[in-house]
Structure 1
Amino acid sequence: MGRVRTVLTRPLVLGALAVLLVVAGAGLYWFQPWKLWQDETVREALPTAAAPSSPSDPSTSPSGEASASPATPQTLASGELISHEHPTSGTVKLLRLADGSYTLRLESLDTSNGPDLRVLLTDAPVKEGRDGWHVFDDGKYVSLGKLKGNKGDQNYALPSDIKPADFTSVSIWCDRFDVSFGAAELRQA
């Protein structure tokens, strides 16, 4: 009888260990806890674009060729990041480049790293505390792409088919868990 129990118990133990191993592997993939100790710093320069030239444009040379010097971007709106799910700080700027394109710039960003972080341009209000954690995918929003790094200065080009005036905030959004790490209200400059 003792031998029968050993034979029956061994498959149960092995099965339980296999299930535990699968659950642990899935949990590690889903949460990616090692990212909490990994920082990715990005140091992108302020974006520039050459202004389009016209015959009356003072940036053209006497020969009529466009000047090679890029124009300084114009800040249309800006805001300070506040913390939501994770401590987050830095400045957000909505810039119009000389060629008429738009870029969202994160400056001095400092937040936690995490799985599937994105930069969202949204029409949602920025709320302090837990009330602001889940609102940024409720209304109108545009994902500007994956967060390039959890620290530093970085630029995100806006798609040409959107109107920047339709959006009032920016969120560092964890797409995996549908939660904001931090957000900023965009105020007209």
Structure 2
Amino acid sequence: MSRSSRRTVLPVLLVLTVVAGVGLFYFQPWKAFTDTTVDEALPGVSASAPSGEPAVKHTAGMNGGEPPARDTGPVDLAEGRFVSHEHDTSGTARTVRLADGSQVLRIEDLKSSQGPDVRVYLSTRDPAAVEGGLGDGDVALGKLKGNLGNQNYAVPAGTDLSRFRSAVIWCERFAVSFGAAGLAPVKG
């Protein structure tokens, strides 16, 4: 190889190496071949209480001989099924008020793709409109914990959940929705 050829090849190889490194960092292609499963229980639900039954608060001696008080337990506020946008996404989303008054977004049976910077949001837009962006007044709940399974996201205190129309799996890096679930009020 001539001396002038080396002068050309070395800078080209250096540029290609830098471009490849930036591309790997930015796109993280290995995430297309990996899954992360999360299986969290709903916070504040007693493992010993039968499904669908509120847990019993043991208050012996405090009620003047009355039977133990029933804990009101979690209350579903809204729920919906995920629809796919940029990636196949399925599962359900529920907003839940816990017995202590705090609120969570619960995602169940999630099946989606991994991504380089995927987060969970509440949006004031309906699921179809979210494909064009989150809109004004969205609330970020954190990084997606896993692309498969059941997971909980704390809703900031004071958030009026009745304002939100969808839960969204959103890729920050590429500003796209993987999928969204409409949040329809639960009839009680």
**TM-score of the superposition, structure 2-length normalised?**
0.84
Match of 2:7 in 1: 11
Match of 2:123 in 1: 122
Is the Cα contact below 8 Å between 2:57 and 2:71 reproduced in 1?
no
Which deviates more from structure 2 when the two are superposed, residues 7-16 or residues 175-184?
Answer: 7-16
Secondary structure of the residue aligned to 1:81 is: strand
| 1:4-36 per-position Cα deviation (integer Å, ceiling 9, x unaligned) | xx2222121100111011101111110111101
Structure 2, unaligned runs of 5 or more: 47-55
Is the Cα contact below 8 Å between 1:85 and 1:182 reproduced in 2?
yes
Give 1 or 2 for the bigger CA radius of gyration: 1
2:19 paired with 1:20: no
Judged with a 3 Å threshold, the aligned counterparts in structure 2 of structure 1 residues 175 and 68 are, in CA distance, closer, same or farther, namely farther
Secondary structure of the residue aligned to 2:127 is: coil
AA in 2 matched with 1:170: A
Q: How many residue pairs end up in the alignment?
A: 173
AA in 1 matched with 2:61: S
Which deviates more from structure 2 when the two are superposed, residues 157-166 or residues 78-87?
Answer: 157-166
Judged with a 3 Å threshold, the aligned counterparts in structure 2 of structure 1 residues 13 and 69 are, in CA distance, closer, same or farther, namely farther
2:73 paired with 1:72: yes
Is the Cα contact below 8 Å between 2:38 and 2:148 reproduced in 1?
yes
- Identity within the alignment, %: 47
Is the Cα contact below 8 Å between 1:36 and 1:114 reproduced in 2?
yes
Matching of residues 33-44 of structure 1 within 5 Å: 33-44=29-40
Match of 1:153 among 137, 150, 153: 150
Coordinate RMSD, CA, aligned:
2.3
Superposition deviation, residue 68 in structure 1: 10
Is the Cα contact below 8 Å between 1:49 and 1:71 reproduced in 2?
no
| 1:39-83 per-position Cα deviation (integer Å, ceiling 9, x unaligned) | 000000122179xxxxxxx95624228x79864311000000000
Return the alpha-carbon distance in structure 2 between the equivalents of residues 68 and 145 of structure 1: 35
Structure 1, unaligned runs of 5 or more: 51-57
